[in-house]
Amino acid sequence: MAGRNKDDINIAKAAIIGAVLVVLIVFGLIGIITQYIDKKKKEDREEYYRTKCYIYDCENKKLEGYNYCSEHKCAEPGCDFSRTSGTVYCAFHAWENDPVYRAEREKAMKMEQELEAAKAKNDDGKSGSSKNNSSGKSSGNSSGKSSGSSSGSSSGSSSGKSNYDPYDVYDYHSAEDFADEWEDDFDDWEDAYEYWEESR
Ligand SMILES: [Zn+2]
Ligand SMILES: [Zn+2]
């Protein structure tokens, strides 16, 4: 009798342990499943916001490489700003593509280019004159001939000389004045004198 009672108790114990285990497993599974669903939801939401147009109430997908959809992105290629109302451009490109401003900008650009060209020419003239200067000095030494040939090669830009006057020849009323002023830049005083005569 007593042994049977003990068996019953053991069976009851095993049943309780089994039930607890089942409950634990079920809760564990539920936990894992809800975690998975939450994660998936979060990923979906992140994906949605990652690929959605930046405009708050726009559900369109953004264009590849941009933050806005084709309806809201500035029409200027490469520009990643949203359009301003009334144009297909962002505020900056609407202003930049405005015909009046455009014409003015092109004019300004042209002027700048001309200025750059003039400056480049000026630099050429300057470096040419400094070359003349150094060759003139070195000709004071023994290597008069070699400096002569080097100045000859550098005066390959002498065709530019006729266009550009680095010495402001027209500011001098006489060859003497000019030669007095620029003698050091030429081989000698006569050379400067001749330069003035040729340039007039
Ligand atoms: Zn949009
Ligand atoms: Zn733009």
Mean pLDDT for the stretch of residues 181-200 = 89
Q: How far is the CA of 96 from the centre of ligand 2 (A)?
A: 9
For residue 83, which ligand has an atom nearest its CA? Answer: 2
Q: Say which residue, 48 or 159, is predicted with more confidence.
A: 48
Q: How far is the CA of 55 from the centre of ligand 1 (A)?
A: 5
Q: Are residues 101 and 90 in contact, defined by beta-carbon separation less than 8 angstroms?
A: no
Q: Are residues 189 and 197 in contact, defined by beta-carbon separation less than 8 angstroms?
A: no
Note whether 188 and 122 are same-domain residues.
Answer: yes
Q: How far is the CA of 178 from the centre of ligand 1 (A)?
A: 72
Sequence-ordered list of residues with C-beta below 8 angstroms from that of 148, at least 6 positions apart, any chain: 135, 139
Q: What CA–CA distances, in Å, run from 78 to 73, 74, 129?
A: 10, 9, 46
Could you list which residues have their CB under 5 Å from ion ligand 1? 53, 55, 58, 60, 69, 72
What pLDDT is recorded for position 126?
Answer: 62
Q: Are residues 70 and 77 in contact, defined by beta-carbon separation less than 8 angstroms?
A: no
Domain count of the chain? Answer: 3
Q: Are residues 161 and 122 in contact, defined by beta-carbon separation less than 8 angstroms?
A: no
Note whether 46 and 61 are same-domain residues.
Answer: no
What pLDDT is recorded for position 123?
Answer: 80
Q: How far is the CA of 77 from the centre of ligand 1 (A)?
A: 16
Q: Say which residue, 114 or 127, is predicted with more confidence.
A: 114
What pLDDT is recorded for position 147?
Answer: 45
Per-residue pLDDT band at 34 (split at 50, 70, 90) = very high
Residue 102 lies in a domain: no
Q: How far is the CA of 185 from the centre of ligand 2 (A)?
A: 54
Out of 97, 132, 157, pick the residue that ends a domain: 97
Note whether 191 and 138 are same-domain residues.
Answer: yes
- Identify the domain containing residue 19 by its residue range: 1-51
Is the model's pLDDT at 146 over the cut of 90? no
Q: Return phi, psi of residue 88, to 5°.
A: -95, 5
Residue 104 lies in a domain: no
Q: How far is the CA of 42 from the centre of ligand 1 (A)?
A: 22
DSSP 3-state of 104: helix
Per-residue pLDDT band at 162 (split at 50, 70, 90) = low
Note whether 131 and 141 are same-domain residues.
Answer: yes
Note whether 138 and 181 are same-domain residues.
Answer: yes
pTM of the model: 0.39
Note whether 117 and 142 are same-domain residues.
Answer: yes
Residue 159 lies in a domain: yes
Note whether 78 and 130 are same-domain residues.
Answer: no
∠ CA(177), CA(182), CA(184), 5° rounding? 135
